Amino acid sequence: MCDTVVLVTEGRVLFAKNSDRDPNEAQLLEWRPRGEHPPGARVRCTWTDVPQARRTHAVLLSRPFWMWGAEMGANEHGVVAGNQAVFTRGRVGPPGLTGMDLLRLGLERAESARGAVEAIIELLERHGQGGACGHEDPRFAYHSSFLVADARGAVVLETAGRWWAAEDVAGARSLSNALSIPGFAERHSDVVRTWAAEGRIRRALTCAAAERASGASDLMRLLRRHGRAGSGAEATRGPAYRWLNGAMSAPCVHAGGLLAAAQTTASWVSELTAAGARHWATATAAPCTSIFKPVAVDRPLDLGPAPTDRADERSLYWRHERLHRLVLADPERRLPFYAPDRDALEARWLESPPDPAAAFALGDERLAAWTAAAASVAGRDVRPWYARRYWRLRDRRAGLAPRATPASGGTPSRVPAR
């Protein structure tokens, strides 16, 4: 599951995406330099290889650890892109290019949003799309839609097998897990699976919020939303779980359903102007518990060993999971003990972005304090029984030790806003 939004205004384009995948499917930031490739070279993607371009552009990608392709990313020319699963009537083909592969290939080969869309279409028509897209369930496969933007505008591309439709964006636009281009959606949408994914509910919420956005901070708040369309609920109210699919009715998705489950595992926001591009990424799950940090395509960072689906304290993703899974049990009690400090730090970074390496270092330092603050709050797990059971199993699979319940009667340690 996923949500991608864009707001095209005079002289500026705002872009944001939540990537929703399996909870233990860690996602990493990866910097790839521009490259020159010999004639006849091929590039190995997730399940297949295709002819390589003679020249590829530098990219910054956010990708699931086991995939070649990416959920979202940017290139050195200020092009950004996000993709999401769409459920169509057509059969998903045998192993081939996935939507994530197509997104990365488009960013590596194009200098504009329109050029990236054209590159994706050419690859789609020549090679098709197919292959497993799920980590926990290798049978899970889907077609994809894309939202691609640069400083001049944005384009929506929706696919069903080798079929596709595209349209330019005017104003606010959002994509969730539902085909949306008139005519194309009616011809190709799988109504039942689209309903179960609640993509149309999330799309209504995100599009309305994007229309009101005035800057990157508004899109960060949008990605943290737990409320249904029209409810006005914010992240601090906690997610609303349902037995069917957990908390999938709002852009900040939380897993825990009996039949379907997904968790926001990475988030991204970009501001694109003629003067250049600015990007912020969490590099961690659950934007409601994370902080957006400045990143740049030309400023690669050493973030340690790439995370996997096993808990590893050397990984930022898994260090944050200690905080995320603690707060998830009772967000309305635990999140307020560090959210003001996080929000104040994030606001300063938005106003005057620091060096990315310094931001990640300070963010990691504050993460330790936030985890201690959340752990000091006594309480019980307020989630429904099916969500509690779901997360206990994922903790065991990841090798996370059971969390100790804070003793009651003490004074919780709130982190002061700085």
pLDDT in tens, 56-67: 999 999 999 999
Written in H, E and C, the secondary structure of 48-113 is CEEECCCEECCEEEEEECCCCCCCEEEECCCCEEEEEEECECCCCECCCCCHHHHHHHHHHHCCCH
Distance between CA 329 and CA 344 in Å, rounded?
A: 24
Q: Report pLDDT for 196.
A: 76
Q: Report pLDDT for 259.
A: 79
pLDDT-derived band at 69, boundaries 50, 70, 90: very high
pLDDT in tens, 282-307: 999 999 999 999 999 999 999 999 99
pLDDT-derived band at 406, boundaries 50, 70, 90: low
- Between residues 76 and 92, the one the model is more confident about: 76
2 is catalytic: yes
pLDDT-derived band at 32, boundaries 50, 70, 90: very high
Mean pLDDT of 215-232: 80
Q: Report pLDDT for 411.
A: 61
Asked if the model's pLDDT at residue 354 lies above 90, the reply is yes
pLDDT-derived band at 410, boundaries 50, 70, 90: low
Mean pLDDT of 151-164: 96
> Which residue in the list 2, 45, 133, 207 is annotated as catalytic?
2
Distance between CA 79 and CA 59 in Å, rounded?
A: 9
Distance between CA 365 and CA 355 in Å, rounded?
A: 16
- Between residues 413 and 267, the one the model is more confident about: 267
Residue type (1 letter), 66: W
Kindly report the pTM of this predicted structure: 0.93
pLDDT-derived band at 402, boundaries 50, 70, 90: low
Asked if the model's pLDDT at residue 48 lies above 70, the reply is yes
Distance between CA 147 and CA 84 in Å, rounded?
A: 9
Min mean pLDDT across 46-60, 101-115, 173-187 is at: 173-187
Q: Report pLDDT for 191.
A: 84
Q: Report pLDDT for 231.
A: 43
Q: Report pLDDT for 232.
A: 41
Q: Report pLDDT for 178.
A: 87
Asked if the model's pLDDT at residue 408 lies above 70, the reply is no
Q: Report pLDDT for 63.
A: 97
Distance between CA 19 and CA 71 in Å, rounded?
A: 6
Min mean pLDDT across 120-124, 174-178, 299-303 is at: 174-178
- Between residues 92 and 215, the one the model is more confident about: 215
Mean pLDDT of the chain: 92
Distance between CA 214 and CA 1 in Å, rounded?
A: 26
Asked if the model's pLDDT at residue 37 lies above 60, the reply is yes
Kindly list the domain boundaries of the chain, sorted by start residue. 2-310
CB of 96 closer than 8 Å to CB of 141: no
Q: Report pLDDT for 229.
A: 40
Q: Report pLDDT for 189.
A: 85
Residue range 2-310 in CATH 1.10.260.40:
no
Q: Report pLDDT for 236.
A: 56
pLDDT-derived band at 139, boundaries 50, 70, 90: confident
- Other residues' Cβ atoms within 10 Å of the Cβ of residue 178: 25
Min mean pLDDT across 44-48, 145-149, 339-343, 413-417 is at: 413-417
Asked if the model's pLDDT at residue 93 lies above 90, the reply is no
Q: Report pLDDT for 114.
A: 97
pLDDT in tens, 238-274: 898 988 888 888 899 999 988 778 999 999 999 999 9
**The token pair that represents 228 in the structure block:** 């249904």
